Amino acid sequence: MTHMERKWLVSHLSSHLGMRNFVIIGNKATTTPTFSLEDIPGTSGRLDILCRCVTAAFVLSHGIRRDVCVYLVLLGGETPKTVRLDGETLRHLNPDERTTAALLKKALVVPATPDWALSTSGIFVRTGGLANVLADLKGARMLCLREEGADIRSIAGCDLSGDVAFILGDHMGIAPKEGTVIEQAGAVAVSIGPVSLHADHCIVLINWMMDTNFFLGYGQGRSPSSD
């Protein structure tokens, strides 16, 4: 593929896709900014996992995915909080883990109410957990990544051209309480492959599958540029 064909394809794909949402559940993730950037895994309820998910969701070789929105559901405090990152206006995101953690730290300083409050550009925070997020995403096609879900190829041919939401758990997976909320929201449980992967690696794969029209036949030998 030439550079021009590639450029055309990317703009062509973008113009035909809705918003790509990723919802990641941080089962023990802190809701306060008191964690240490010198030991993120040990002091933040594994916010490091969520940082890597943010990078996987947004970062391209030369830019940010503008059609992506990430919801980090932080369940490690007394009251759940959610941090939202909007690709359209997101700034200051670097690919390294520590910078992302510093951005989240700033967001957790902002006083949270049930309404979204702006932290740095493109980053918002509010109180509330998964049910609120899925209510916001009503209308999006929802897929939940679960080891015991149906093979992801089984959704081949599905129309994913509108808004889509992918729901993932952290190292502790998805607890029964959140599982029920997800099921009630109508999400379909899918499994991404035979080996159990970290959430951020699943996000990399999903982005690639969406980029390459995998569900519409990338893997079947059809060239994306001939669509």
For the chain, report the end-to-end CA distance as a whole number of angstroms. 14
| Encoded tokens for 158 | 């599905």
Distant-in-sequence, close-in-space partners of 12: CB < 8 Å, separation ≥ 6: none
Place of tokens 């540029």: 225
Shortest Å distance, C-beta 194 to a second copy: 5
| Residues from 109 through 168 that contact a second copy (CB under 8 A) | 147-148, 151, 153, 156
Q: Which is nearer to a second copy, 131 or 172 (CB)?
A: 172
> How many C-alpha atoms does 116 have within 13 Å on its Cβ side?
14
Distant-in-sequence, close-in-space partners of 162: CB < 8 Å, separation ≥ 6: 18, 140, 141
Place of tokens 């740095």: 120
Binding a second copy (rule: CB under 8 A), the pick from 16, 41, 88, 161 is: 41
Distant-in-sequence, close-in-space partners of 32: CB < 8 Å, separation ≥ 6: 77, 108
Binding a second copy (rule: CB under 8 A), the pick from 96, 139, 159, 184 is: 96
From the list 78-86, 119-127, 160-168, 213-221, the region that binds a second copy by CB under 8 A is 213-221
Pattern 43-82, a second copy, x by CB under 8 A: -----xx--x---x--xxxx--------------------
The radius of gyration of the chain from alpha carbons, rounded to an integer in Å, stands at: 17
Instruction: Rule CB under 8 A: say whether 192 interacts with a second copy.
Output: yes
Pattern 21-40, a second copy, x by CB under 8 A: ----------------xx-x
Residues that bind a second copy (CB under 8 A): 1, 3, 6, 9-10, 13, 37-38, 40-41, 48-49, 52, 56, 59-62, 94-99, 147-148, 151, 153, 156, 171, 191-198, 201, 204-205, 208, 211-212, 214, 218-221, 223-225
